[in-house]
Amino acid sequence: MEEHGVFAAILASGDNTFKYYSEGEWKVSTSGKSVPIINPTTRKTQFKVQACTQEEVNKVMESAKNAQKSWAKTPLWKRAELLHKAAAILKDHKKPIAECLVKEIAKPAKDAATEVVRSGDLVSYCAEEGVRILGEGKFLVSDSFPGNERTKYCLTSKVPLGVVLAIPPFNYPVNLAVSKIAPALIAGNSLVLKPPTQGAVSALHMVHCFHLAGFPKGVISCVTGKGSEIGDFLTMHPGVNCISFTGGDTGIAISRKAGMIPLQMELGGKDACIILEDADLDLAAASIVKGGFSYSGQRCTAVKVVLVMESIADTLVKKVNEKLGKLTVGPPENDCDITPVVTESSANFIESLVMDAKKKGATFCQEYKREGNLIWPLLLDNVKPEMRIAWEEPFGPVLPVIRIGNAEEGIHHCNASNFGLQGCIFTKDINKAMLISDAMETGTVQINSAPARGPDHFPFQGLKDSGIGSQGVASSINMMTKIKSTVINLPTPSYAMG
């Protein structure tokens, strides 16, 4: 196990079964069961993680609750210092973590390394922002409200919620985990992570970086197992004081079951890209290919439907097709642009959308091609509202184009969606862009660029079925704290003297 270096501690047996992290220690579950992680490229078991039991979850929650009390009393600058240390360790170990991302979720090699570095930067940024946001409070006086004398001084500060449960999705198992972990910890909460099964081993490596940084036991924990098996027990656990979830419709079900606790839900999207007649079509085509096909379309903010004015549609489609022809298709180890999608069932789902569009008369700009989980990039032109792909999120390298007669039609399609994550507009007319942006019911609108979550400190939120609350550094820290007031009552108005 020597070749695993510092990560040997997280291995349970042989080369491919990993422990879970509880009470500051790496442990093997008493269930005696493990969950396989299938490599999307080879479609063989790559790793295994522990199938944690309900008793083990109870233990983790208890230790998280106990640890949180003293963690909240740890000076803010010390909490920040530990986060900076974890960030540095994470970045130092980007290679082995990126290798896990390549094997578990078929992320292209360069993007995998970028995810780890970006995550380290996000942890550091949270530490810096946290000391400022949490270092300030408010001071209010009573006589600003009608009928009151100046007899009360109110001091407010932000205090932690307690135990935060973080559940990220497979597509950014490190970055979307730290986007929850760092704000929770800087704010004085303890954190329990339930990583996605595909991506769990990358996440366990990341957690080990926090362990190596020296966080007190119980402040951060990580339980593994299938969401369908331990998910309800975790999300309905009475020890949880806040849930930060990123994923698909599962989040809607969790919102219905969770108790009276703050929820941060970052869910799916069907990001529309509206292209007007005066748009820079080279820029639009490049953005559509990058936005729609990076990581094989498996991004919440991927361009998921193109709404282009009929008069420029032929030119745009031609430009997009030229660029699609240049994308490399193959294994993530070779850093190909298009790599296998995460599971066979995802590939089957994508195929079902493609076949539905075929049956209903969409124009195939390329031949549909699939080998195992690998699907070649495909642009579907002349998509109509009766086709499922006009509304559903394929989460794969397949993009529908709908031709529109005017901007209102584009806005109407965007707003008729259940989702409302992001959208984008391509035009040279900034006034028109602003009007369309105002009319689009999405959490963010990008003007002259594809939708994107980053930079990671920007607020990021979805409307409708795309989520509750806002993510981003400041918004997450605020969401993971509550206001505590102390009121000083004076016997006589403060202006009575002198």
Residues in the chain: 498
Q: Which residues contact 384 (CB under 8 A, 6 or more apart)?
A: 360, 361, 362, 390, 402
Q: 111, 129, 266, 337: which one contacts ligand NAP (CB under 6 A)?
A: 266
* Binder among 268, 291, 400, 472 for ligand NAP (CB under 6 A): 268
Positions in 396-425 near ligand NAP (CB under 6 A): 421
Q: Is 231 in the site for ligand NAP (CB under 6 A)?
A: yes
User: How near is the Cβ of 308 to ligand NAP at its closest, in Å?
Assistant: 23
Is residue 27 a contact partner of residue 21, using CB atoms and an 8 Å limit? yes
Instruction: List CB contacts of 174: < 8 A, sequence separation 6 or more.
Output: 97, 101, 115, 116, 119, 199, 202, 203, 206
**How far apart are alpha carbons 313 and 324 in whole angstroms?**
16
- Binding of residue 250 to ligand NAP (CB under 6 A): yes
Interface segment toward ligand NAP; rule CB under 6 A; list 91-99, 132-140, 214-222, 231-239 = 231-239
The residue among 399, 248, 389 whose CA lies nearest residue 321 is 399
Cβ-based nearer residue to ligand NAP, 163 or 316: 163
The yes or no reply on residue 465 touching ligand NAP (CB under 6 A) is: no
Among 197, 339, 444, 478, binds ligand NAP (CB under 6 A): 197
| Choices 127-135, 150-158, 267-275, 310-318; region in contact with ligand NAP by CB under 6 A | 267-275
Containing 70, the helix (H) or strand (E) segment is helix 54-73
Instruction: Out of 82, 267, 347, 357, name the contact with ligand NAP by CB under 6 A.
Output: 267
Nearer to ligand NAP, 71 or 395 (CB): 395
User: What's the closest the beta carbon of residue 263 comes to ligand NAP, in angstroms?
Assistant: 12
What token pair was written down for 431? Answer: 């006034």
Give, to the nearest 10 degrees, the angle between helix 76-92 and helix 175-186: 160
In contact, 225 and 192? CB cutoff 8 Å: no
The closest alpha carbon to 342, from 113, 112, 107, belongs to: 107
SS3 of 400, please? strand
d(CA 81, CA 87): 10
Q: Which stretch binds ligand NAP (CB under 6 A): 5-13, 120-128, 214-222, 223-231?
A: 223-231
Residue 278 interacts with ligand NAP (CB under 6 A): yes or no? no
Coil/strand/helix, residue 481 = strand
Per CB under 6 A, 227 contacts ligand NAP: yes
Q: With b meaning 16 or more CB within 10 Å and e meaning fewer, what string describes 102-139?
A: bbbbbbbbebbbebbbbbbbbbbbbbebbbebbeeeee
Q: Is residue 476 a contact point for ligand NAP (CB under 6 A)?
A: no
Binding-site size, ligand NAP (CB under 6 A): 27
100 catalytic, yes or no? no
Binder of ligand NAP out of 312, 395, 399, 407 (CB under 6 A): 395
Q: Do 221 and 64 touch, CB atoms closer than 8 A?
A: yes
Question: 327 in helix, strand or coil?
Answer: coil
Q: How far is the CB of 476 from ligand NAP (least distance, A)?
A: 12
Using CB under 6 A, which of 393, 407, 410, 480 touches ligand NAP? 393
Instruction: Classify 437 as helix, strand or coil.
Output: helix
Cα-based distances in Å from 49 to 156, 196, 204, 245, 340: 44, 11, 9, 21, 22
Among 269, 297, 340, 423, binds ligand NAP (CB under 6 A): 269
- Point out which span in 37-45, 169-177, 312-320, 329-337 binds ligand NAP (CB under 6 A): 169-177
Task: Kindly state whether residue 235 participates in binding ligand NAP, applying the rule CB under 6 A.
Answer: yes
The two three-digit tokens of residue 167, written as one number: 């559940």
Stretch that binds ligand NAP, among 139-147, 240-248, 287-295, 490-498 (CB under 6 A): 240-248
Encoded tokens for 109: 């090699």
Between 188 and 423, CB nearer to ligand NAP: 423
Active-site annotation holds for 209? no
Q: Does 40 bind ligand NAP (CB under 6 A)?
A: no
Place of tokens 């109509």: 384
Number of Cβ within a 10 Å radius of residue 236: 13
**CA 217 from chain center: how many Å?**
26
Stretch that binds ligand NAP, among 109-117, 242-250, 318-326, 428-436 (CB under 6 A): 242-250
Active site residues: 266, 300
Q: Which residues bind ligand NAP (CB under 6 A)?
A: 167, 169-171, 196-197, 226-228, 231-232, 235, 246-248, 250, 254, 266-269, 300, 393, 395, 421, 462, 467
